[in-house]
Amino acid sequence: MSESDVKPDAADLEESESPSYAVDPAAVEALRVRAEAAERKLREVHGAYASAKSELEATRARLERDLERKVELKFADLVAGLLECADDLDRALAHGATIKAAAPVVQGVALARDRFLGALAKAGLERIAPEGERYDPNVAEAVGIVPVADPEANDTVQRIERAGYRLGSRVIRPARVFVGRLVS
């Protein structure tokens, strides 16, 4: 093969160059306008997507809070119902204490009651026993008045008829108490 066969001549190079096209300014302007419109539409869609995403996240957070609150309320209702069982055990203990022959049974009931209340305490239940404290209607329900001669004992809890309970920060059952009232 000769050198002339390998190297193309200048005439061949001129023919192989890409032809130049005439650019229509109106067509370029039309394409620019379409591109700007597409970019605007993309920004609108992106904005709508971001807005919908943030709204979805806010809704999800609200639903989670609502669900937690409902579970908390249902659990409090369950515990309140179980407290009636604890009251029954307390009444059984009080009655059993009056019968000497029932002492072994009373000990068993006391053990069962303590384990029951211990399990509820692990779940967050706290006993409210405000005896000797100032009467607070947020945690106790006054069921009676006890006359007192000491001014310091006025408006304080003198006796607890039934203990109250709190689950977390919520009072699920107020204590039933007798409140001291100063007599002259």
For the chain, list residues with pLDDT below 50: none
Please check whether residue 17 lies inside any domain of the structure.
Answer: no
What is the DSSP code string of 118-143?
Answer: HHHHHTTEEEE--TTSBP-TTTEEEE
Where in the sequence is the domain holding 70, given as residue range(s)? 24-123
Residue 5 pLDDT: 55
- Tell me the CA distances in angstroms from 61 to 55, 56, 69, one per residue in order: 10, 9, 12
With a CB cutoff of 8 Å and minimum separation 6, the contacts of 97 are: 106
Asked if residue 39 and residue 89 are part of one domain, the reply reads yes
Q: The whole model's pTM is what? A: 0.63
CATH code: domain of residue 137: 2.30.22.10
Asked if residue 165 and residue 116 are part of one domain, the reply reads no
Asked if residue 105 and residue 155 are part of one domain, the reply reads no
90: left (phi over 0), alpha (psi -120 to 50) or beta: alpha
Report the domain count for the chain.
Answer: 2
Residue 23 pLDDT: 81
HSE-up (13 A, CA, CB side) for residue 141: 12
Asked if residue 74 and residue 164 are part of one domain, the reply reads no
Q: Could you say which of 89, 105, 123 is where a domain stops? A: 123
